[in-house]
Structure 1
Amino acid sequence: MKICFVTSSGGHLTHLMQLESWWKDKERFWVTFNKEDSRSILKNEKKYWCHFPTNRNIKNLIKNTFLAIKLLKKEKPDLIISTGAAPAIPFFYIGKLFRAKVVYIEVYDRIEKPTITGKIVYPISDLFILQWEEQKKFYPKGKVLGGLF
């Protein structure tokens, strides 16, 4: 199984790093921002840099959509996993076209309202993981697995 982890840098990347005991022996690659924390954390990992900023930035959404087409065609992952944020959107939608399974993990700190990315990828996610029971009110088909920390 080949896995694509697509995430913003910072807390979203930290969430995925919490799963290292699960992914460390699997073939994988990362798509994230070229920032100091991600360069440091992923220094020994196969990685690709996506375009940022992404918050309400249509130009970078388009660039990341073309990047998703290029990378997913090249790498052919079986599974795409994300905790957000915006880079996940084109990778999930393009990934579904390439028949990849997509798994989204809603972030730990969003209990009172859903994330924008979560709302956008929820309808197409093969598995939508929640860290709090309270998040079920936004994502009724989500599966509560508890906190990653």
Structure 2
Amino acid sequence: MEFLLAAVILFLVFVFLTRLLLVLWPGSRHKPGKMGPLSVVAVAGSGGHTTEILRLLGSLSQSYSPMHYIVADSDKMSEDKICLFERSRAKQSSKFEYFIHRIPRSREVQQSWSSSVLTTLHSVLYSLPLTFRLKPDLVLCNGPGTCVPVCASAVLLGILAIKKVIIVYVESICRVETLSFSGWILYYFSDYFIVQWPVLKEKYPKSVYLGRIV
């Protein structure tokens, strides 16, 4: 009986790891236009994170629609910036559609790492049903702690064979020699990991160096 139980557990672990490798393997990527518009989730963070992510989004075409923003529930400043940005885009075209969603903040500024484990798990509980409901084609993020539970939920969508979600991580321009904690985690799970300094490209071979893009 114990041998049978161990065999079942090993089989389930093997299936899980195999599925995880298939999800992370960059073989199912597609470009907008070939399969219609791409639904995008953009994770905004407080301070410079939101400014940088909006600069990136400003260069996207109408093929990336609708746009779903995820912000921490206590981050009113980012929400105001997003609304201002989208109002300016609406003057250019009425085809830009956006929605703002709120989840609990995974980690406050200067919060201890030990206590942030619990708050991150709390954030994951909100991220999972939201991400499963939205089923985005693309998740775009650039470092706020809120992006970790969102990306974890996106990876889980693929593991469960519900949908393959492309994760694009753009490391903040202020990270010159080392990755942020969010970047260090998502370096291993993102489909495209973009850095803005050549030093980081040398240290992290998987990354893509495009120069300063924000």
TM-score by length of 2: 0.64
More helix as a share of residues: 2
Identify the match of residue 14 of structure 1 among 51, 57, 77: 51
Q: For residue 129 of structure 2, what is the aligned residue in structure 1? A: 70
Percent sequence identity over matched residues? 24
- Mapped contact 1:30–1:48 kept (Cα < 8 A): yes
State the 1:20 CA deviation: 3.0
Give the secondary structure class of the aligned counterpart of 1:124. Answer: coil
Of stretches 109-118 and 21-30 in structure 1, the one that deviates more from structure 2 is 21-30
Identify the match of residue 102 of structure 1 among 163, 167, 183: 167
CA distance in 2, matches of 1:20, 1:80: 12
Q: Which runs of no fewer than 5 residues in structure 1 stay unpaired?
A: none
- Mapped contact 1:114–1:138 kept (Cα < 8 A): no
Runs of 4+ with deviation above 6 angstroms: none
CA distance in 2, matches of 1:23, 1:9: 22
**1:128 is aligned to 2:193:** yes
Q: For residue 148 of structure 1, what is the aligned residue in structure 2? A: 213
State the 1:24 CA deviation: 5.8
Identify the match of residue 47 of structure 1 among 94, 97, 100: 100
- Mapped contact 1:131–1:148 kept (Cα < 8 A): yes
Q: Which has the higher contact order (CA 8 A, sep 6+)?
A: 1
Of stretches 25-34 and 35-44 in structure 1, the one that deviates more from structure 2 is 35-44
Give the secondary structure class of the aligned counterpart of 1:147. Answer: coil
Number of residues of Structure 1 aligned to a counterpart in Structure 2: 149
Structure 1 or 2, whichever has the larger Rg, is 2
**1:37 is aligned to 2:77:** yes
* Alpha-carbon RMSD: 1.7
